[in-house]
Amino acid sequence: MYAKTILEAIGNTPLIKLTLPTEATILAKLEYLNPGGSMKDRSALYMIQQAEKKGLLKPGGTIIDASSGNHGIALAMIGASKGYKVIITVSKKCSKEKYQTLQAYGAQVVVCPSTDFIEHPDSYHSQAVALLKSTPNSFMPNQYFNIENANGHYALLGPEIWRQTEGKITHFFAGTGTGGTVSGAGRYLKDQNPAIKVYGIDAATSFHATGGHPQPYKIEGIGIDFDSDVIDYETITELVNVGDTEALAMLKTLAHEHGILVGPSSGAVAAGLMQKLPTLKKDDLVVIILGDSGRAYLSKNFYSQEDGDVQVSPRITDQTVQAIL
Ligand SMILES: Cc1ncc(COP(=O)(O)O)c(C=O)c1O
């Protein structure tokens, strides 16, 4: 048995039990084990497949999109595998590792200034639209406006979680950027059992959380920048707001105490879960989405106990052993 291309390796990520101070069962879905490194592999592949079916993307075409990183990385991987040229616009907030990963897949990367509003003419979204207009035979998956983004998670992620939990899931937590993951997978789960609670994790200072007065935050990938068609507020039971400090503290806990090295949006999801932990009961079965790996953020020093240069250890003696221990 083998996969015919890398794209067949998308999905079937493991659910791992987390030991936390609750009687409920908490399962972390390790979406960073997708081949492109995040759950965005699923939605990006689905959007490309739908575009091919509808004749919007033809052989030899160019895929153009705006992405804070993972959606772009997924498109870069898919483009490389399927033979499309890929151009990705990113905001200046994008980590260096993500930027370099896009380039490593052969994609062209355009870095744009960070803007508060997506409609701003300098925003990475506006610049992707401008590129699309001037590039013949190009297609923009447009994750913020394309309902196939959420439909991809409805078709792939939702059923997988339902199957893996044998229909016993009671609570679902996912980070919310475009809203595709929480809305698509959440809607599938609620279609199976309307009693399931669906929590979208938003950045505490996002456009939505602040009622239109956003402040900068460090968590990449999440934060509702505007009310797009992709976000389905009827599916989301509650939006849970999480600040940088809580999210980054949970990052360390997951890495140091659970051996799970994830990115800041996953720290935010885990911090959102911690807010709700006192409300959970013994028979509850909770699934949280851990969207990408911490390896993409090492240069940001979120995980280390101390910053600064690497110290070279002197030759081991009884004294140095004491110092290390
Ligand atoms: C790691 C990570 N988590 C969460 C999200 C938010 O997912 P969605 O856009 O489906 O709401 C993103 C979006 O890029 C992401 O990269």
Q: What averages of pLDDT result for each successive group of 10 residues across the chain (325 residues)?
A: 97 98 98 98 98 96 91 97 96 82 95 81 90 95 95 98 98 97 98 98 93 88 86 97 96 96 97 98 98 90 70 76 74
Ranges of CATH 3.40.50.1100 domains, the chain: 6-38+147-300, 40-139
Render the burial of 82-112: b for 16+ CB within 10 Å, e for the rest: bebbbbbbbbebbbebbbebbeebebebeeb
Sheet holding 62-66, edge to edge: 108-112, 85-91, 62-66, 138-139
Over residues 77-103, the pLDDT tens digits come to 999 999 999 999 988 877 788 889 999
Query: 77, 102 in Cβ contact below 8 A?
Result: no
Q: What is the pLDDT of residue 194?
A: 98
CA neighbor of 32 nearest in space, from 222, 263, 249, 264: 263
Over residues 32-60, the pLDDT tens digits come to 999 999 999 999 999 999 999 999 999 99
pTM: 0.93
Q: Residue for token digits 């291309």?
A: 5
Query: 44, 66 in Cβ contact below 8 A?
Result: no
Ligand 1 touching residue 13 (CB < 6 A): no
Q: Would strands 25-30 and 62-66 be described as parallel, antiparallel, or unpaired? A: unpaired
Ligand 1 touching residue 72 (CB < 6 A): no
Ligand 1 touching residue 68 (CB < 6 A): yes
Report how far apart, in Å, the C-alpha atoms of 120 and of each of 12, 129, 214, 322 are.
38, 12, 14, 57
Task: Provide the 8-state DSSP code for 243.
Answer: -
Query: Which atom of ligand 1 is the closest one to the Cα of 263?
Result: 1
Query: 39, 31 in Cβ contact below 8 A?
Result: yes
Q: What is the pLDDT of residue 120?
A: 86
How far is the centre of ligand 1, averaged over its atoms, from the C-alpha of 325 (Å)?
39
Question: What element of type H or E holds 102?
Answer: helix 96-104
Over residues 145-169, the pLDDT tens digits come to 999 999 999 999 999 999 999 999 9
Report how far apart, in Å, the C-alpha atoms of 78 and of each of 35, 105, 190 are.
10, 9, 30
Q: Which protein residue has the closest C-alpha to ligand 1 atom 14?
A: 221
Query: 214, 205 in Cβ contact below 8 A?
Result: yes
CATH architecture assignment, domain 40-139: 3-Layer(aba) Sandwich (3.40)
Paired tokens of 170: 């009671």
CATH number, span 6-38+147-300:
3.40.50.1100
Q: From CA 122, how far away is CA 111, in angstroms rounded?
A: 10
How far is the centre of ligand 1, averaged over its atoms, from the C-alpha of 320 (Å)?
44
Q: What is the pLDDT of residue 276?
A: 98
- Choosing from 181, 208, 288, 300 the residue with most ligand 1 atoms within 8 A of its CB, the one to mutate for a pocket test is 181
> Which sequence positions are flagged as catalytic?
40
